[in-house]
Amino acid sequence: MSRSAPEYGRYRNQALVAIIGFVVLSYAISWLVWWPLASQGGAPPESPLRYLHLLGGLGPAAAGLLVVRVSDGPVGVERLTKQVMRWRVGLGWHAIAWLLPFALLWIAVMLARMTGDTQPIRFDRSAEYPQLSLPIYVMASVVAYGFGEEIGWRGVLLPRLQARRSALTAADMMSVIWAGWHLPLFWFAPGMARMIGPEIVGWYLSILTASVLFTWLFNGTGGSIPICAIFHGVMDVAFLASGPSQLPSFLGGLITVLGVAVLVRFGPSSLAAHPRVVDEPLLV
């Protein structure tokens, strides 16, 4: 439907306010929750403060729901809820979400062993949450880092960014916002707190590649938040496993290869075989 210049300007302004409001709220909610951990440089394994990391992961979801309710009203909330409940997609997508992270982990371990590093792989206990059994840890990761982030990043922000941009450009913009949201973790999260310059650059490149992959998952499934959330949560569990010293490098390389393959196969416009998922009422 065509719009007059005043209407278009109004929609554009509304979209910009919604995007800025969502980003600011996501950062504010999560950073406020993480502040006790960041200010102390972390917490002992037995301290319940460690679980603030999980709780802060819900920030983008909380911000997204609030912004959608204010900007789009009940219709927007209903549309987002349908995306959260979009479990019925092809079995292939479920296989990718649940199994691909562990397949990449296995390949990375095999590559490491080819170099002579035979250190055993272990992900039955999290270094950050050692009290949690593997099933509980996976569930917590999918809920907090999966749905907690993906409801906001892909469910709310990505469709707005894609409304007047290619999927690849939207994914690139997402990577900057997504990476910035993680900044407090450099003060307390295992692994990230020990990173130095080159490692931080590599970490951002992995965020950029992951943003492309999540855009592909979201657009390819017609906007399924559960598929993105499961992939996100399971990937965090698999990629934080302890093992060979070169494991992070091999995993980063594999993710990059996969991201490039998706880009070449589906193209930058949609990053999927279907039209990209956009937020039509709010054009930017």
Percent over 90 (pLDDT), the chain: 69
**What is d(CA 233, CA 255) in angstroms, rounded to the nearest whole number?**
16
Please report whether residue 28 resides in a domain: yes
* Residue 167 maps to a domain: yes
Whether residue 70 is contained in a domain is answered as: yes
Any domain includes 279: no
Give strand pairing partners of 136.
Answer: none
DSSP 3-state assignment of 166?
Answer: coil
What are 73-128's pLDDT values in tens digits? Answer: 999 999 999 999 999 999 999 999 999 999 999 999 999 999 988 888 887 678 78
Give the total number of structural domains in the chain: 1
| pTM of full prediction above 0.85 | yes
Identify whether 250 is part of a domain: yes
Show the DSSP H helices in 133-166 as ranges: 134-141, 148-152, 158-162
CA angle 82, 83, 89 (to 5 degrees): 105
Answer yes or no: are the C-beta atoms of 225 and 219 closer than 8 Å.
no
The answer to the question of residue 277 being in a domain is no
Q: Is the pLDDT of residue 173 over 70?
A: yes
Would the pLDDT of 72 be above 80?
yes
HSE (CB half, 13 Å, CA atoms) of 94?
6
Across 173-180, average pLDDT: 98
Range of the domain at 167: 5-266
Q: Decide if 281 is inside a domain.
A: no
Give domain status of residue 278, yes or no: no
